[in-house]
Amino acid sequence: MLPALVYKDAWYVRTHSDWDGGPAYWALFAALPFLNLGTIGLYFWRRSRARFFDKQCSMTGSIAAKVRSLL
């Protein structure tokens, strides 16, 4: 389950920011036992350095902003 979530998040970050990481690369290493913890830590560090094109940094943030606008 972790590799699928990493892939989905990495794809979002790649398509909404200047980040050039490969979603398949991160998902592959997230699937390897004992390497996945280090890989996820490195992924989060690299992800934090991305500059997003919009104000929202995640899908959850986008959804939350849309819900707030309805209230």
Cα 39–chain centre separation: 13
Tell me the per-residue pLDDT of 14-63, one tens digit each, with 9 for 90 and over: 888 888 888 999 999 999 988 888 998 899 888 888 888 876 556 666 67
- Please give the structure tokens belonging to residue 59: 């899908």
Whether the model pTM is above 0.75: no
**What are the backbone dihedrals phi and psi of residue 52, each rounded to the nearest 5 degrees, phi first?**
-80, 150
